[in-house]
Protein backbone atom coordinates (compact mmCIF):
# COMPACT_ATOMS: atom_id res chain seq x y z
CA UNK A 1 0.00 0.00 0.00
CA UNK A 2 1.28 3.48 -0.87
CA UNK A 3 2.59 5.45 2.11
CA UNK A 4 0.04 7.94 3.38
CA UNK A 5 -2.94 5.95 2.11
CA UNK A 6 -3.18 3.47 4.98
CA UNK A 7 -6.12 3.76 7.38
CA UNK A 8 -5.42 5.61 10.61
CA UNK A 9 -7.09 5.84 14.00
CA UNK A 10 -10.29 7.89 13.89
CA UNK A 11 -10.60 11.09 15.89
CA UNK A 12 -13.31 9.53 18.07
CA UNK A 13 -11.03 6.61 18.93
CA UNK A 14 -7.98 8.82 19.43
CA UNK A 15 -9.81 10.94 22.01
CA UNK A 16 -10.29 8.03 24.40
CA UNK A 17 -8.48 8.61 27.68
CA UNK A 18 -7.10 12.05 26.75
CA UNK A 19 -9.14 14.41 28.94
CA UNK A 20 -8.04 13.61 32.49
CA UNK A 21 -4.26 13.89 32.28
CA UNK A 22 -1.57 13.56 34.98
CA UNK A 23 -1.33 17.36 34.95
CA UNK A 24 -5.06 17.53 35.72
CA UNK A 25 -4.56 15.18 38.68
CA UNK A 26 -1.81 17.39 40.10
CA UNK A 27 -3.78 20.61 39.59
CA UNK A 28 -7.03 19.21 41.03
CA UNK A 29 -5.28 17.73 44.05
CA UNK A 30 -3.69 21.10 44.79
CA UNK A 31 -6.92 23.03 44.15
CA UNK A 32 -8.97 20.95 46.59
CA UNK A 33 -6.15 19.99 48.98
CA UNK A 34 -6.52 16.28 48.25
CA UNK A 35 -3.96 13.47 48.38
CA UNK A 36 -4.38 11.02 45.47
CA UNK A 37 -2.39 8.31 47.28
CA UNK A 38 -3.91 8.55 50.79
CA UNK A 39 -5.53 5.31 52.01
CA UNK A 40 -8.03 4.42 54.73
CA UNK A 41 -7.96 1.60 57.28
CA UNK A 42 -9.06 -0.91 54.63
CA UNK A 43 -6.27 0.13 52.27
CA UNK A 44 -8.73 1.85 49.94
CA UNK A 45 -7.53 5.06 48.33
CA UNK A 46 -9.49 7.93 49.83
CA UNK A 47 -9.66 9.66 46.44
CA UNK A 48 -9.62 6.75 43.96
CA UNK A 49 -11.08 8.80 41.10
CA UNK A 50 -8.30 11.37 41.30
CA UNK A 51 -6.16 9.60 38.73
CA UNK A 52 -5.42 9.92 35.00
CA UNK A 53 -8.27 8.86 32.76
CA UNK A 54 -8.46 5.19 31.84
CA UNK A 55 -7.48 4.40 28.27
CA UNK A 56 -8.38 0.70 28.40
CA UNK A 57 -11.82 -0.50 29.55
CA UNK A 58 -12.02 -1.92 33.03
CA UNK A 59 -15.43 -3.52 32.54
CA UNK A 60 -17.50 -4.95 29.69
CA UNK A 61 -21.26 -4.78 29.29
CA UNK A 62 -22.87 -8.10 28.43
CA UNK A 63 -25.68 -7.86 25.89
CA UNK A 64 -26.92 -10.92 23.99
CA UNK A 65 -28.19 -8.69 21.17
CA UNK A 66 -24.59 -8.01 20.17
CA UNK A 67 -24.26 -11.65 19.06
CA UNK A 68 -27.03 -11.32 16.45
CA UNK A 69 -25.72 -11.81 12.93
CA UNK A 70 -25.29 -8.71 10.77
CA UNK A 71 -26.04 -6.12 13.44
CA UNK A 72 -24.80 -2.69 12.42
CA UNK A 73 -24.57 -4.07 8.89
CA UNK A 74 -26.62 -3.77 5.73
CA UNK A 75 -29.79 -3.17 7.76
CA UNK A 76 -28.61 0.34 8.71
CA UNK A 77 -30.23 3.33 7.04
CA UNK A 78 -28.25 5.66 4.76
CA UNK A 79 -26.19 8.08 6.84
CA UNK A 80 -26.12 5.87 9.93
CA UNK A 81 -22.73 4.73 11.21
CA UNK A 82 -21.32 2.79 14.16
CA UNK A 83 -17.99 3.73 15.74
CA UNK A 84 -16.46 1.09 18.02
CA UNK A 85 -13.19 0.50 19.85
CA UNK A 86 -10.29 0.69 17.41
CA UNK A 87 -12.17 2.44 14.60
CA UNK A 88 -9.98 3.46 11.67
CA UNK A 89 -10.60 5.81 8.76
CA UNK A 90 -9.22 6.33 5.27
CA UNK A 91 -7.33 9.55 4.42
CA UNK A 92 -10.56 11.01 2.99
CA UNK A 93 -12.31 10.49 6.34
CA UNK A 94 -14.50 7.57 5.29
CA UNK A 95 -14.60 4.63 7.66
CA UNK A 96 -12.15 1.79 7.01
CA UNK A 97 -12.94 -0.40 10.04
CA UNK A 98 -15.87 0.19 12.43
CA UNK A 99 -14.05 -1.15 15.45
CA UNK A 100 -15.23 -3.58 18.14
CA UNK A 101 -18.71 -2.96 19.54
CA UNK A 102 -19.45 -6.12 21.55
CA UNK A 103 -18.81 -5.50 25.25
CA UNK A 104 -19.04 -1.72 24.98
CA UNK A 105 -21.77 0.71 26.02
CA UNK A 106 -23.43 1.85 22.78
CA UNK A 107 -24.52 5.50 22.95
CA UNK A 108 -26.83 7.02 20.37
CA UNK A 109 -25.83 10.31 18.78
CA UNK A 110 -28.47 12.67 17.39
CA UNK A 111 -27.18 15.68 15.50
CA UNK A 112 -28.07 18.74 17.57
CA UNK A 113 -25.73 20.70 19.78
CA UNK A 114 -27.03 20.12 23.31
CA UNK A 115 -27.19 16.39 22.55
CA UNK A 116 -23.57 16.43 21.38
CA UNK A 117 -22.30 18.35 24.41
CA UNK A 118 -24.08 16.28 27.06
CA UNK A 119 -23.19 13.08 25.19
CA UNK A 120 -19.46 13.81 25.17
CA UNK A 121 -19.50 14.62 28.90
CA UNK A 122 -21.11 11.22 29.46
CA UNK A 123 -18.62 9.45 27.19
CA UNK A 124 -15.60 11.00 28.92
CA UNK A 125 -16.89 9.96 32.35
CA UNK A 126 -17.86 6.45 31.24
CA UNK A 127 -14.52 5.77 29.58
CA UNK A 128 -12.03 7.61 31.75
CA UNK A 129 -13.63 7.45 35.21
CA UNK A 130 -16.13 4.60 35.40
CA UNK A 131 -14.18 2.29 33.09
CA UNK A 132 -16.38 1.13 30.20
CA UNK A 133 -15.58 1.13 26.53
CA UNK A 134 -18.01 3.26 24.55
CA UNK A 135 -19.24 2.86 20.98
CA UNK A 136 -21.13 5.58 19.14
CA UNK A 137 -24.13 4.98 16.91
CA UNK A 138 -24.90 8.03 14.78
CA UNK A 139 -28.45 8.46 13.48
CA UNK A 140 -30.60 11.40 12.48
CA UNK A 141 -33.17 11.56 15.26
CA UNK A 142 -34.14 10.00 18.57
CA UNK A 143 -37.77 9.19 17.80
CA UNK A 144 -37.08 5.44 17.65
CA UNK A 145 -34.41 5.30 20.37
CA UNK A 146 -36.60 3.13 22.62
CA UNK A 147 -37.04 0.55 19.86
CA UNK A 148 -33.26 0.45 19.39
CA UNK A 149 -32.93 -0.32 23.11
CA UNK A 150 -35.36 -3.22 22.90
CA UNK A 151 -34.99 -6.76 21.65
CA UNK A 152 -37.30 -6.12 18.72
CA UNK A 153 -37.23 -4.35 15.36
CA UNK A 154 -34.38 -1.85 15.27
CA UNK A 155 -33.02 -3.42 18.46
CA UNK A 156 -31.99 -6.39 16.33
CA UNK A 157 -30.27 -4.22 13.72
CA UNK A 158 -28.80 -1.23 15.53
CA UNK A 159 -29.02 -2.09 19.25
CA UNK A 160 -28.12 0.74 21.61
CA UNK A 161 -27.93 1.23 25.37
CA UNK A 162 -28.22 4.97 26.04
CA UNK A 163 -29.61 8.10 24.44
CA UNK A 164 -28.35 10.99 26.60
CA UNK A 165 -30.98 13.58 25.63
CA UNK A 166 -34.53 12.67 24.64
CA UNK A 167 -37.30 15.23 24.17
CA UNK A 168 -40.39 13.26 25.14
CA UNK A 169 -43.15 15.81 24.50
CA UNK A 170 -45.33 14.60 21.66
CA UNK A 171 -43.32 11.36 21.37
CA UNK A 172 -44.50 9.31 24.34
CA UNK A 173 -46.93 7.27 22.28
CA UNK A 174 -43.94 6.05 20.24
CA UNK A 175 -41.48 5.73 23.11
CA UNK A 176 -43.91 3.91 25.42
CA UNK A 177 -44.37 1.02 23.00
CA UNK A 178 -41.11 -0.30 24.46
CA UNK A 179 -41.63 0.93 28.04
CA UNK A 180 -40.94 -2.51 29.51
CA UNK A 181 -37.50 -2.60 27.85
CA UNK A 182 -36.31 0.92 28.68
CA UNK A 183 -35.42 2.81 31.85
CA UNK A 184 -35.69 6.59 31.39
CA UNK A 185 -34.31 9.05 33.94
CA UNK A 186 -33.89 12.81 33.87
CA UNK A 187 -30.53 14.08 32.62
CA UNK A 188 -30.74 17.14 34.90
CA UNK A 189 -31.68 20.10 32.73
CA UNK A 190 -34.89 21.23 31.06
CA UNK A 191 -35.80 21.88 27.46
CA UNK A 192 -38.43 23.81 25.59
CA UNK A 193 -39.23 23.84 21.90
CA UNK A 194 -41.00 26.63 20.14
CA UNK A 195 -41.56 28.85 17.17
CA UNK A 196 -39.36 31.94 17.21
CA UNK A 197 -38.96 35.14 15.29
CA UNK A 198 -36.32 37.86 15.27
CA UNK A 199 -36.57 40.38 18.09
CA UNK A 200 -36.13 43.04 15.40
CA UNK A 201 -39.21 41.63 13.63
CA UNK A 202 -41.24 42.07 16.82
CA UNK A 203 -40.09 45.68 17.13
CA UNK A 204 -40.85 46.34 13.48
CA UNK A 205 -44.43 45.04 13.70
CA UNK A 206 -45.08 47.16 16.78
CA UNK A 207 -44.39 50.26 14.66
CA UNK A 208 -47.55 49.62 12.70
CA UNK A 209 -47.93 52.13 9.81
CA UNK A 210 -44.51 53.60 10.65
CA UNK A 211 -42.77 50.35 9.72
CA UNK A 212 -40.34 50.61 6.82
CA UNK A 213 -40.18 46.85 6.24
CA UNK A 214 -43.75 45.63 6.64
CA UNK A 215 -47.13 46.76 5.33
CA UNK A 216 -49.00 47.17 8.62
CA UNK A 217 -52.17 49.22 9.06
CA UNK A 218 -51.81 49.06 12.85
CA UNK A 219 -49.28 47.80 15.42
CA UNK A 220 -49.12 44.03 15.76
CA UNK A 221 -47.76 41.86 18.56
CA UNK A 222 -46.16 39.10 16.55
CA UNK A 223 -44.73 37.42 19.63
CA UNK A 224 -48.32 36.21 20.23
CA UNK A 225 -50.08 33.69 18.03
CA UNK A 226 -53.47 35.36 17.48
CA UNK A 227 -52.26 37.95 14.98
CA UNK A 228 -51.05 35.10 12.77
CA UNK A 229 -54.58 33.72 12.81
CA UNK A 230 -56.40 36.99 12.04
CA UNK A 231 -54.09 39.24 10.01
CA UNK A 232 -53.13 38.78 6.37
CA UNK A 233 -50.63 41.62 6.88
CA UNK A 234 -48.72 39.56 9.45
CA UNK A 235 -48.89 36.45 7.24
CA UNK A 236 -47.59 38.45 4.29
CA UNK A 237 -44.73 39.88 6.38
CA UNK A 238 -43.47 36.30 6.69
CA UNK A 239 -44.84 35.34 3.27
CA UNK A 240 -43.89 32.09 1.60
CA UNK A 241 -44.21 33.55 -1.90
CA UNK A 242 -41.71 36.36 -1.33
CA UNK A 243 -39.24 34.47 0.89
CA UNK A 244 -35.68 34.62 -0.43
CA UNK A 245 -33.44 31.55 -0.87
CA UNK A 246 -36.31 29.21 -0.12
CA UNK A 247 -34.41 26.31 -1.69
CA UNK A 248 -31.96 26.48 1.23
CA UNK A 249 -34.69 25.14 3.52
CA UNK A 250 -36.66 22.95 1.11
CA UNK A 251 -34.69 19.71 1.20
CA UNK A 252 -36.16 16.28 0.64
CA UNK A 253 -33.27 14.90 2.70
CA UNK A 254 -34.82 16.63 5.74
CA UNK A 255 -38.42 15.73 4.87
CA UNK A 256 -38.93 13.22 2.08
CA UNK A 257 -41.89 13.30 -0.27
CA UNK A 258 -45.03 11.82 1.34
CA UNK A 259 -43.27 11.86 4.74
CA UNK A 260 -45.06 14.06 7.31
CA UNK A 261 -47.06 15.52 4.44
CA UNK A 262 -44.01 16.84 2.61
CA UNK A 263 -43.59 17.56 -1.07
CA UNK A 264 -40.28 18.93 -2.36
CA UNK A 265 -39.05 19.51 1.19
CA UNK A 266 -42.14 21.37 2.46
CA UNK A 267 -45.53 20.56 3.96
CA UNK A 268 -48.42 22.95 4.55
CA UNK A 269 -51.44 23.41 6.78
CA UNK A 270 -55.00 22.93 5.58
CA UNK A 271 -55.58 26.61 6.43
CA UNK A 272 -52.93 27.42 3.82
CA UNK A 273 -54.69 25.28 1.23
CA UNK A 274 -57.92 27.19 1.88
CA UNK A 275 -56.13 30.55 1.84
CA UNK A 276 -54.48 29.86 -1.51
CA UNK A 277 -57.80 28.71 -2.91
CA UNK A 278 -59.10 32.21 -2.12
CA UNK A 279 -55.99 33.95 -3.48
CA UNK A 280 -54.66 34.78 -0.02
CA UNK A 281 -51.05 34.42 1.23
CA UNK A 282 -49.45 31.76 3.40
CA UNK A 283 -46.49 32.32 5.69
CA UNK A 284 -43.23 30.39 5.72
CA UNK A 285 -41.98 28.55 8.81
CA UNK A 286 -38.36 27.39 8.62
CA UNK A 287 -37.98 23.89 10.08
CA UNK A 288 -35.07 21.53 10.74
CA UNK A 289 -35.83 17.83 10.26
CA UNK A 290 -39.24 16.16 10.20
CA UNK A 291 -38.28 13.80 13.02
CA UNK A 292 -37.43 16.64 15.43
CA UNK A 293 -40.53 17.07 17.63
CA UNK A 294 -42.38 15.22 14.87
CA UNK A 295 -45.57 16.89 13.77
CA UNK A 296 -45.79 19.04 16.88
CA UNK A 297 -45.52 22.56 15.52
CA UNK A 298 -47.14 21.76 12.19
CA UNK A 299 -50.21 20.48 14.07
CA UNK A 300 -50.06 23.40 16.52
CA UNK A 301 -50.32 25.94 13.71
CA UNK A 302 -52.75 23.90 11.62
CA UNK A 303 -55.16 23.41 14.52
CA UNK A 304 -55.01 27.13 15.30
CA UNK A 305 -55.96 27.79 11.66
CA UNK A 306 -52.77 29.57 10.62
CA UNK A 307 -51.98 29.37 6.88
CA UNK A 308 -48.39 28.20 6.71
CA UNK A 309 -45.79 26.28 4.75
CA UNK A 310 -43.30 24.26 6.79
CA UNK A 311 -40.00 23.94 4.92
CA UNK A 312 -37.19 21.71 6.14
CA UNK A 313 -33.50 22.50 5.73
CA UNK A 314 -31.82 20.20 8.23
CA UNK A 315 -30.37 21.34 11.54
CA UNK A 316 -27.36 23.24 10.18
CA UNK A 317 -29.13 24.39 7.03
CA UNK A 318 -31.99 25.97 8.95
CA UNK A 319 -29.70 27.72 11.43
CA UNK A 320 -27.64 29.13 8.55
CA UNK A 321 -30.83 30.30 6.85
CA UNK A 322 -32.04 32.13 9.98
CA UNK A 323 -28.66 33.80 10.49
CA UNK A 324 -28.57 34.91 6.85
CA UNK A 325 -32.07 36.41 7.10
CA UNK A 326 -31.15 38.16 10.34
CA UNK A 327 -27.96 39.61 8.87
CA UNK A 328 -29.84 40.87 5.80
CA UNK A 329 -32.52 42.59 7.88
CA UNK A 330 -35.28 40.24 6.75
CA UNK A 331 -38.16 38.53 8.54
CA UNK A 332 -38.46 34.89 9.55
CA UNK A 333 -40.40 32.51 11.78
CA UNK A 334 -38.58 29.31 12.62
CA UNK A 335 -38.62 26.22 14.80
CA UNK A 336 -35.96 25.97 17.50
CA UNK A 337 -35.41 24.54 20.95
CA UNK A 338 -33.56 25.58 24.07
CA UNK A 339 -30.87 24.95 25.05
CA UNK A 340 -29.23 25.31 21.65
CA UNK A 341 -26.23 27.05 20.15
CA UNK A 342 -28.13 29.84 18.38
CA UNK A 343 -29.17 31.48 21.65
CA UNK A 344 -25.59 31.53 22.94
CA UNK A 345 -24.12 32.86 19.71
CA UNK A 346 -26.70 35.63 19.36
CA UNK A 347 -28.10 36.46 22.81
CA UNK A 348 -31.22 38.61 22.79
CA UNK A 349 -31.73 38.38 19.03
CA UNK A 350 -34.69 35.98 19.07
CA UNK A 351 -38.15 36.02 20.63
CA UNK A 352 -40.36 33.00 21.28
CA UNK A 353 -43.91 33.22 19.94
CA UNK A 354 -46.54 32.44 22.59
CA UNK A 355 -49.29 30.01 21.59
CA UNK A 356 -52.25 28.81 23.69
CA UNK A 357 -50.86 27.72 27.04
CA UNK A 358 -49.59 24.16 27.13
CA UNK A 359 -52.25 21.73 28.30
CA UNK A 360 -50.92 18.37 29.56
CA UNK A 361 -54.11 16.59 28.50
CA UNK A 362 -53.84 17.98 24.98
CA UNK A 363 -50.11 17.29 24.73
CA UNK A 364 -50.71 13.70 25.82
CA UNK A 365 -52.97 13.23 22.79
CA UNK A 366 -50.20 14.17 20.35
CA UNK A 367 -49.72 11.47 17.75
CA UNK A 368 -46.26 12.54 16.57
CA UNK A 369 -47.61 12.78 13.04
CA UNK A 370 -48.63 15.27 10.35
CA UNK A 371 -49.79 15.03 6.76
CA UNK A 372 -51.67 11.82 7.46
CA UNK A 373 -54.17 12.63 4.70
CA UNK A 374 -51.61 13.96 2.29
CA UNK A 375 -50.00 17.24 1.30
CA UNK A 376 -52.00 20.30 2.39
CA UNK A 377 -54.89 18.35 3.88
CA UNK A 378 -56.30 18.25 7.40
CA UNK A 379 -54.26 16.60 10.13
CA UNK A 380 -55.51 13.93 12.53
CA UNK A 381 -53.00 15.08 15.16
CA UNK A 382 -55.19 16.93 17.72
CA UNK A 383 -52.39 18.96 19.28
CA UNK A 384 -53.27 22.66 19.62
CA UNK A 385 -51.43 23.99 22.70
CA UNK A 386 -47.89 25.22 23.20
CA UNK A 387 -44.84 23.12 23.87
CA UNK A 388 -44.27 22.63 27.61
CA UNK A 389 -41.01 23.17 29.44
CA UNK A 390 -39.99 19.59 30.12
CA UNK A 391 -37.22 17.75 31.94
CA UNK A 392 -35.00 16.24 29.27
CA UNK A 393 -34.57 12.52 29.66
CA UNK A 394 -31.76 10.03 29.42
CA UNK A 395 -33.20 6.84 27.96
CA UNK A 396 -31.47 3.58 28.85
CA UNK A 397 -31.98 0.01 27.78
CA UNK A 398 -33.01 -2.40 30.53
CA UNK A 399 -29.79 -4.23 29.62
CA UNK A 400 -27.93 -1.47 31.46
CA UNK A 401 -29.87 -2.08 34.68
CA UNK A 402 -28.43 -5.61 34.91
CA UNK A 403 -25.01 -4.04 35.54
CA UNK A 404 -25.42 -2.51 39.01
CA UNK A 405 -22.16 -0.54 38.92
CA UNK A 406 -22.98 1.07 35.58
CA UNK A 407 -26.65 1.61 36.42
CA UNK A 408 -25.79 3.31 39.70
CA UNK A 409 -23.62 5.86 37.90
CA UNK A 410 -26.15 6.54 35.16
CA UNK A 411 -29.04 7.11 37.57
CA UNK A 412 -26.96 9.58 39.61
CA UNK A 413 -25.41 11.55 36.78
CA UNK A 414 -27.20 14.85 36.13
CA UNK A 415 -26.04 18.04 34.47
CA UNK A 416 -27.67 21.05 36.15
CA UNK A 417 -29.02 23.91 33.99
CA UNK A 418 -26.00 26.02 34.96
CA UNK A 419 -23.69 23.18 33.91
CA UNK A 420 -25.11 22.92 30.39
CA UNK A 421 -25.13 26.72 30.16
CA UNK A 422 -21.41 26.87 30.99
CA UNK A 423 -20.60 24.04 28.56
CA UNK A 424 -22.44 25.89 25.78
CA UNK A 425 -20.60 29.12 26.59
CA UNK A 426 -17.24 27.34 26.36
CA UNK A 427 -18.30 25.67 23.13
CA UNK A 428 -19.07 29.04 21.54
CA UNK A 429 -15.66 30.35 22.64
CA UNK A 430 -13.79 27.29 21.37
CA UNK A 431 -15.71 27.30 18.08
CA UNK A 432 -14.25 30.70 17.24
CA UNK A 433 -10.70 29.34 17.64
CA UNK A 434 -9.57 27.76 14.37
CA UNK A 435 -6.75 25.89 16.14
CA UNK A 436 -9.21 23.76 18.14
CA UNK A 437 -10.05 20.68 16.09
CA UNK A 438 -13.06 19.54 18.12
CA UNK A 439 -14.70 22.31 20.19
CA UNK A 440 -17.41 19.90 21.38
CA UNK A 441 -14.85 17.61 23.00
CA UNK A 442 -12.85 20.50 24.43
CA UNK A 443 -15.94 22.14 25.97
CA UNK A 444 -17.12 18.86 27.50
CA UNK A 445 -13.62 18.01 28.74
CA UNK A 446 -13.26 21.43 30.38
CA UNK A 447 -16.44 20.85 32.37
CA UNK A 448 -15.27 17.39 33.46
CA UNK A 449 -11.87 18.76 34.50
CA UNK A 450 -13.44 21.59 36.52
CA UNK A 451 -16.17 19.51 38.16
CA UNK A 452 -14.37 16.77 40.08
CA UNK A 453 -16.28 17.47 43.30
CA UNK A 454 -19.55 17.04 41.40
CA UNK A 455 -19.02 13.87 39.37
CA UNK A 456 -16.91 12.07 41.98
CA UNK A 457 -20.15 11.61 43.95
CA UNK A 458 -21.77 9.77 41.05
CA UNK A 459 -19.40 6.79 41.00
CA UNK A 460 -19.61 3.89 43.45
CA UNK A 461 -16.46 2.65 45.16
CA UNK A 462 -14.92 -0.46 43.67
CA UNK A 463 -15.31 -3.62 45.78
CA UNK A 464 -12.56 -4.57 48.20
CA UNK A 465 -9.96 -6.90 46.71
CA UNK A 466 -10.27 -10.43 48.12
CA UNK A 467 -8.50 -13.71 47.51
CA UNK A 468 -11.75 -15.38 46.47
CA UNK A 469 -12.98 -12.74 44.02
CA UNK A 470 -9.95 -11.02 42.56
CA UNK A 471 -6.94 -13.34 42.62
CA UNK A 472 -6.33 -16.40 40.47
CA UNK A 473 -3.93 -19.18 41.32
CA UNK A 474 -2.14 -22.02 39.57
CA UNK A 475 -0.55 -25.22 40.90
CA UNK A 476 2.95 -26.16 39.83
CA UNK A 477 4.99 -29.30 40.55
CA UNK A 478 2.03 -31.63 40.91
CA UNK A 479 4.31 -34.62 40.18
CA UNK A 480 7.19 -33.33 42.31
CA UNK A 481 7.77 -33.71 46.04
CA UNK A 482 6.64 -30.12 46.73
CA UNK A 483 3.76 -28.25 45.19
CA UNK A 484 3.95 -24.51 44.57
CA UNK A 485 0.90 -22.26 44.34
CA UNK A 486 1.45 -19.04 42.37
CA UNK A 487 -0.89 -16.05 42.32
CA UNK A 488 -1.89 -13.22 39.96
CA UNK A 489 -4.66 -10.65 39.73
CA UNK A 490 -7.72 -11.75 37.76
CA UNK A 491 -7.74 -8.33 36.10
CA UNK A 492 -4.30 -6.74 36.38
CA UNK A 493 -3.82 -3.04 35.74
CA UNK A 494 -2.87 -2.58 32.05
CA UNK A 495 0.13 -0.42 32.86
CA UNK A 496 1.30 -2.27 35.99
CA UNK A 497 0.43 -5.96 36.35
CA UNK A 498 1.32 -5.90 40.06
CA UNK A 499 -1.79 -3.78 40.73
CA UNK A 500 -5.48 -4.74 40.44
CA UNK A 501 -7.78 -3.02 37.94
CA UNK A 502 -11.29 -3.98 39.10
CA UNK A 503 -11.09 -3.72 42.91
CA UNK A 504 -9.73 -1.32 45.51
CA UNK A 505 -8.15 -1.85 48.95
CA UNK A 506 -8.28 -5.02 51.02
CA UNK A 507 -5.43 -7.07 49.56
CA UNK A 508 -3.10 -4.59 47.89
CA UNK A 509 -0.47 -7.04 46.60
CA UNK A 510 -0.76 -10.62 45.41
CA UNK A 511 0.63 -13.19 47.87
CA UNK A 512 4.08 -14.62 47.22
CA UNK A 513 4.36 -18.14 45.85
CA UNK A 514 3.30 -20.73 48.41
CA UNK A 515 5.06 -24.09 48.77
CA UNK A 516 3.20 -27.02 50.32
CA UNK A 517 3.46 -30.76 50.70
CA UNK A 518 -0.25 -31.19 50.02
CA UNK A 519 -1.15 -32.82 46.69
CA UNK A 520 -2.71 -30.88 43.83
CA UNK A 521 -5.89 -32.93 44.20
CA UNK A 522 -6.09 -32.00 47.88
CA UNK A 523 -5.42 -28.33 47.10
CA UNK A 524 -8.19 -28.31 44.49
CA UNK A 525 -10.67 -29.89 46.92
CA UNK A 526 -9.77 -27.72 49.93
CA UNK A 527 -9.31 -24.23 48.51
CA UNK A 528 -10.86 -22.40 51.46
CA UNK A 529 -8.70 -24.29 53.94
CA UNK A 530 -5.31 -23.60 52.39
CA UNK A 531 -6.23 -19.99 51.55
CA UNK A 532 -6.76 -19.43 55.28
CA UNK A 533 -3.27 -20.80 55.83
CA UNK A 534 -1.90 -17.85 53.88
CA UNK A 535 -2.57 -15.63 56.90
CA UNK A 536 -2.66 -18.28 59.67
CA UNK A 537 -0.25 -21.17 59.00
CA UNK A 538 -1.56 -24.55 60.20
CA UNK A 539 -0.14 -26.57 63.09
CA UNK A 540 1.91 -29.41 61.69
CA UNK A 541 0.24 -32.77 62.32
CA UNK A 542 0.76 -36.26 60.93
CA UNK A 543 -1.00 -35.41 57.67
CA UNK A 544 1.92 -33.20 56.69
CA UNK A 545 4.52 -35.98 56.88
CA UNK A 546 5.64 -38.68 54.48
CA UNK A 547 6.47 -42.09 55.97
CA UNK A 548 8.89 -44.57 54.48
| Three-state helix/strand/coil letters over 435-459 | CCCCHHHHHHHHHHHHCHHHHCCCC
> H/E element holding 492?
strand 492-493
Number of Cβ within 10 Å of residue 17's Cβ equals: 15
- Split at pLDDT 50, 70, 90, the class of 1 is very low
Structure confidence by residue, pLDDT tens digits, 334-367:
999 999 999 999 999 999 999 999 999 999 899 9
Segment 4-32 mean pLDDT: 95
In terms of residues, how long is the chain?
A: 548
- Split at pLDDT 50, 70, 90, the class of 143 is confident
Structure confidence by residue, pLDDT tens digits, 402-414:
999 999 999 999 9
pLDDT for residue 55? 95
Which of 294, 344, 307 is CA-nearest to residue 143? 294
The pLDDT of residue 2 is above 60: no
Residues 168/393, Cβ–Cβ less than 8 Å: yes
Q: What percent of the chain has pLDDT over 90?
A: 85
Higher pLDDT, residue 543 or 250: 250
Which of 89-103, 183-197, 402-416, 522-536 bottoms out in mean pLDDT, i.e. has the lowest? 522-536
Average pLDDT score over the chain: 94
The pLDDT of residue 3 is above 60: no
pLDDT for residue 139? 93
Higher pLDDT, residue 298 or 170: 298
Which of 174, 112, 178, 121 is CA-nearest to residue 140? 112
The pLDDT of residue 534 is above 80: no
Residues 136/83, Cβ–Cβ less than 8 Å: yes
Structure confidence by residue, pLDDT tens digits, 233-249:
999 999 999 898 999 99
SS (HEC) of 41-87:
CCCCECCCCCCCCCCCCCECCCCHHHHCCCCCCCCCCCCCEEECECC
pLDDT for residue 548? 61
- Split at pLDDT 50, 70, 90, the class of 546 is low
Which burial class, exposed, middle or buried, applies to 291 when counting CB atoms under 10 A from its CB (0-12, 13-18, 19+)?
buried
Q: Is the dihedral of CA 226, 227, 232, 236 positive or negative?
A: negative
pLDDT for residue 539? 76
Q: Bridge-partner residues for 514, per DSSP?
A: 485
pLDDT for residue 516? 85
Residues 214 and 151: their CA atoms lie apart, in Å, by: 55
Amino acid sequence: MVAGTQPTQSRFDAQRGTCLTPAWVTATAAKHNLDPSARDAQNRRKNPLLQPGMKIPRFTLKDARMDIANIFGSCMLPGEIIRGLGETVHPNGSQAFPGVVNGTVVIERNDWQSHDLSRVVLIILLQEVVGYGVSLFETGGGLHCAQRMSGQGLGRCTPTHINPEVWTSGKLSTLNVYANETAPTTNGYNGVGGLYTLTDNVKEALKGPLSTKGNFSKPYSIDFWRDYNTSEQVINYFGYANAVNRSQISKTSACANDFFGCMNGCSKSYACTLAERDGKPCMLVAMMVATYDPGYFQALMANNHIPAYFCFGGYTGMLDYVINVMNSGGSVVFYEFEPDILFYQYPGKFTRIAFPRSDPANVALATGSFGEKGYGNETTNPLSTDYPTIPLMRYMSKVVTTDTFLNSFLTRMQLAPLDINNIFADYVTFSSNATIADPVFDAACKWVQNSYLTWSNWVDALPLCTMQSNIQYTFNGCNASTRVVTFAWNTPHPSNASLPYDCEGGIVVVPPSYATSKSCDWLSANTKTWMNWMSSPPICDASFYNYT
